[in-house]
Structure 1
Amino acid sequence: MANSFASKTFTALADLYPNMANLKIIGIVIGKTDVKGFPDRKNVGSERYTFSFTIRDSPAHFVNAASWGSEGYIRSLSDSFRIGECVIIENPLIQRKELEREEKFSPATPGNCKLLLSENHSTVKVCSSYEVDTKLLALIYLPIKESRDYYSLGDIVANGHSLDGKIINVLAAVRSVGEPKCFTTSDRRRGQRCEVKLYDETESSFTMICWDNESILVAQSWMPRETVIFASDVRISFDKFRNCMTATVISKTIITTNPDTPEANILLNFIRENKETNPLDGEIDSYLKDSINLNAIVDVYTVEQLKVKALKNEGKADPFYGILYAHISTLNIDGATTTVVRCRCSGCGYVMKEASGPCTACHRDSLELKSAFRSFHLLIDVTDHTGTLHACSLTGGVAEETLGCTVNEFLTMTDEQKTALKWQFLLERSKLYLKFFLSHRARGGLRVSVLSCKLADPTEASKNLSGQGNT
């Protein structure tokens, strides 16, 4: 007969029966770590391997389980089940938790016990369909934390550096899931990294990074703009490269996909209602929230090299960045102003057809109407000796810095003044910091956003164009 974590006697097992035999536990796996190897102190030159997981059998009770052993045993055991599956554990060793040490690196659990699985005595197997209790399956949709105990993405951004290094809970919708990227550490260990973009009613884009294979595997199942997640115990930090706050999945994190809570249901309704009217394209992402530290961008390309790199990145969701020394070959700023200046919502940044009235993307009520503001919206062509990049997006403050005037100042210019301004750039080589990401809606399948555009120093440009720069 299965023993339940909800049983009061379970807490006492660590004292009464530290080596209790014939114990059988059934629960659903709600969290899992990667397999890791450590030097074996008893056998110099060899390694012991371990992984851990969190199992739950009631809304209020869940426990961590760990196993140590040979590489073959540990990898086989880890591969035998996944997060969201019901498992049967037989003959585990029950131990007391070392709170300060263990809960620093493992999910915090309500009891004072943990399970240790022995290679020689313990077994774990996935439940067959007739062994699964439907009440267990429902537990995968319940966060391990109070459903109201979370930060909105807007709160995280607003608090900024005060949350740097803090571990908090986040409720958000999935905007996009990047392709896993492989890397090798200095000690030749292989790993993966996956970037997930989140959003909610308060923020249009927020980055969460997954480093372990288990969370990456779960993330790959998420449907952009359809999935809501409750991430318990993620680490918040300030990303110097992006110049913004980000979240990181750590060993303490438990992620609940599409949680069955009132707060999650409200957010789910929000993303469904705004799915069609709020396109969430890369242009707005770049315009509003994707502030990049330009000093971190060092790779210099030619147009031809950029097009080759874009082909290699085909099928990948993550953007890449680069520097280009080129002439602006198309800059239509002396035509109709409607193609140069647009009205945007001050709340979310989306283009509004009319300067007055509610923003159709925000769906704010009449008491929370956000004002509209005018903003540059330019599509420029840039050309070097190897080719041309068409329809590069030059918007917002970057456009004002490039042109050297505000929108209001531009609107007061005569056509002659606008033409003179245009030729200041068409005749000179510029240094452009660019962001590239694939988009089936963009010309040539590549969307390009200008992060900075200034007239290039001739010596610097000559040095880089002769192949002496960072290529």
Structure 2
Amino acid sequence: MSGSFASKTFTALSDLHPNMANLKIIGIVIGKTDVKGFPDRKSDIGSERYTLSFTVRDSPAHFVNIASWGSEDYIRSLSDSFRVGECLIIENPLVQRKEMEREEKFRPATPSNCKLLLSETHSIVKVCSSYEVDTKLLSLIHLPVKESHDYYSLGDIVANGQNLHGKIINVLAAVRSVGEPKYFTTSDRRKGQRCEVKLYDETESSFTMICWDSESILLAQSWTPRETVIFASDIRISFDRFQNCMMATVISKTIITANPDTPEANILLNFVRENTETSAPDDEIDSYLKESINLNTIVDVYTVKQLKAKALKKEGKADPFYGILYAYISTLNIDDETTKVVRNRCLGCSYIVNEASSACTTCNKDCSEFQSVFLSFDMLVDLTDHTGTLHSCSLTGSVAEETLDCTVNEFLAMTDEQKTALKWQFLLERSKIYLKFVLSHKAKGGFRITVLSCKLADPIEASRNLSGQRNT
């Protein structure tokens, strides 16, 4: 420790044993979960107790889980007082023997046979400035809690496919992109959030990781795409039936180490730096990959005529623009045998695979090996309102599934009559359509137009907005 912290005043985590009293420990926070509320059976009906869990480390080999129970005010203020990566001094925690199976089912696995409990009345938690702390302690934030070679590459996960469904494993990967957090309310009125992170490595060019809790979302927002490498310990792998691919989910056991100081991570970081310039442009696949933009941030309503005028003004500018259109789908060739509506995409990078050669020209994978392709809607639609028509708008992937209200497999099982009936549901009805315009020299008219969402419009809302007055 530095001059202000003499090491003898602190108990090392390696020396913990149950029922020790008057303890004082110091460590760096390497993991943290969200505040949770539970019904309090001991008190009045309807009252809740709150809990917070986090993990602290004081040496390469030793880290311990810490829990605190108490009133909502105490637990929330405790949680707000520190973040992952900060150093804490903790005084007077209660040391208890860990119930191994129960403890490690939902919390990070730790080498200690003890856990610590914080009491609202007796324990003190103080955040230390990084200037006061020994750099050896600070450097622990870049040390994974598992062996540096004990991980799956993203290619291994895809190759193993559904054999890994539900398994908890370690992953080393680079961050390709971090989506905007999306907020929602569940059917039982609980507020939730979700953030989608795209990962990649030498073996796969795009792989989804989902964060559901605010602590991991906060952590993810601090990562720099194409520069940050992460080691995720104890992350859950599952097969997502809706998107027909493998994905990872951050759970309460997961500890994520950003920019790990390990030989394996350094090799990956060198790969990332060498390939940043040559990697495939994201804007070519974002029409397939579910847009990370929050649709609630798109508020400007346009007519087709106004959109065309805005596109002309933007000519030469690369940044995309977004808008809402109330229109009919005037061309939707889903019942035409000559039109390809469903295509194979590479499970690694989401590009369309050349069906003649079964090869992905983007990540140079032979897609006849393993199960490395998936079926995806891929169609062009025309959108028409009273002022004109936007031709060849891209409707793909999960946006198309949500629009048609059926999966690719359900669509392929339909008869021609059913496909025609599905088509006419849209040709006769006005829809509320969220659009993205991106400059593209390959596209007709100089812009690629992507449908981000298409749902049947509320008639009153549509008639109020038909003239596009709300645009700026």
State TM-score, norm by structure 2.
Answer: 0.67
Who is 2:42 aligned against?
Answer: 42
TM-superposed deviation, 1:466: 11
Whether the 8 Å CA contact 1:25–1:90 is kept in 2: the answer is yes
SS of 1:31 mapped into structure 2: strand
How far apart, in 1, do the equivalents of 2:262 and 2:281 lie? 25
- Counterpart of 2:38, as a letter, is F
Whether the 8 Å CA contact 1:142–1:259 is kept in 2: the answer is yes
Who is 2:406 aligned against?
Answer: none
Whether the 8 Å CA contact 1:328–1:381 is kept in 2: the answer is yes
Aligned residues: 366
How far apart, in 2, do the equivalents of 1:346 and 1:89 lie? 47
SS of 2:217 mapped into structure 1: helix
1:263-309, CA deviations, whole angstroms, 9 ceiling, x for partnerless residues? Answer: 1111111111111111341423656x88xxxxxxxxxxx9969x99x
How far apart, in 1, do the equivalents of 2:458 and 2:51 lie? 52
Say if 1:381 and 1:148 are closer, same or farther in 2 by CA, change over 3 A.
Answer: same
Residues 139-158 of structure 1: matches in 2 within 5 Å? 139-158=140-159
Whether the 8 Å CA contact 1:179–1:316 is kept in 2: the answer is no
Which runs of structure 1 show a deviation greater than 4 angstroms over 4 or more consecutive aligned residues?
302-305, 315-318, 344-351, 359-364, 378-381, 393-396, 428-433, 435-447, 464-467
TM-superposed deviation, 1:327: 2.4
Task: Give ranges in structure 1 of 5+ residues lacking alignment.
Answer: 291-301, 330-343, 352-358, 365-377, 397-427, 452-463
Who is 1:5 aligned against?
Answer: 13
Whether the 8 Å CA contact 1:150–1:169 is kept in 2: the answer is yes
Task: Give ranges in structure 2 of 5+ residues lacking alignment.
Answer: 1-8, 291-300, 311-318, 334-344, 353-359, 366-377, 398-422, 460-472
- Counterpart of 2:235, as a letter, is V
Whether the 8 Å CA contact 1:157–1:245 is kept in 2: the answer is yes
Whether the 8 Å CA contact 2:27–2:137 is kept in 1: the answer is yes
Say if 1:266 and 1:436 are closer, same or farther in 2 by CA, change over 3 A.
Answer: farther
- Counterpart of 1:199, as a letter, is Y
Who is 2:336 aligned against?
Answer: none
Deviates more, 1:276-285 or 1:183-192: 276-285
TM-superposed deviation, 1:55: 0.2
SS of 2:111 mapped into structure 1: coil
Say if 1:236 and 1:43 are closer, same or farther in 2 by CA, change over 3 A.
Answer: same
Residues 65-464 of structure 1: matches in 2 within 5 Å? 65-284=66-285, 325-327=329-331, 382-386=382-386, 387-389=388-390, 392-393=393-394, 438=436, 441=439, 447-448=449-450
TM-superposed deviation, 1:171: 1.0
Whether the 8 Å CA contact 2:381–2:394 is kept in 1: the answer is no
Who is 1:375 aligned against?
Answer: none
- Counterpart of 2:382, as a letter, is V
How far apart, in 1, do the equivalents of 2:178 and 2:75 lie? 29
Deviates more, 1:99-108 or 1:438-447: 438-447
Who is 1:295 aligned against?
Answer: none
Who is 1:63 aligned against?
Answer: 64
1:199-224, CA deviations, whole angstroms, 9 ceiling, x for partnerless residues? Answer: 11111211111011100000011111
Who is 2:407 aligned against?
Answer: none
1:349-383, CA deviations, whole angstroms, 9 ceiling, x for partnerless residues? Answer: 879xxxxxxx997599xxxxxxxxxxxxx996723
Who is 1:296 aligned against?
Answer: none
1:127-153, CA deviations, whole angstroms, 9 ceiling, x for partnerless residues? Answer: 134431100111101110111111111
- Identity, % of aligned positions: 68
How far apart, in 2, do the equivalents of 1:140 and 1:111 lie? 18
How far apart, in 2, do the equivalents of 1:391 and 1:382 lie? 6
TM-superposed deviation, 1:251: 0.3
Whether the 8 Å CA contact 1:205–1:285 is kept in 2: the answer is no
Alignment RMSD, CA only? 4.3
- Counterpart of 1:25, as a letter, is I
How far apart, in 1, do the equivalents of 2:274 and 2:95 lie? 48
How far apart, in 1, do the equivalents of 2:128 and 2:321 lie? 36
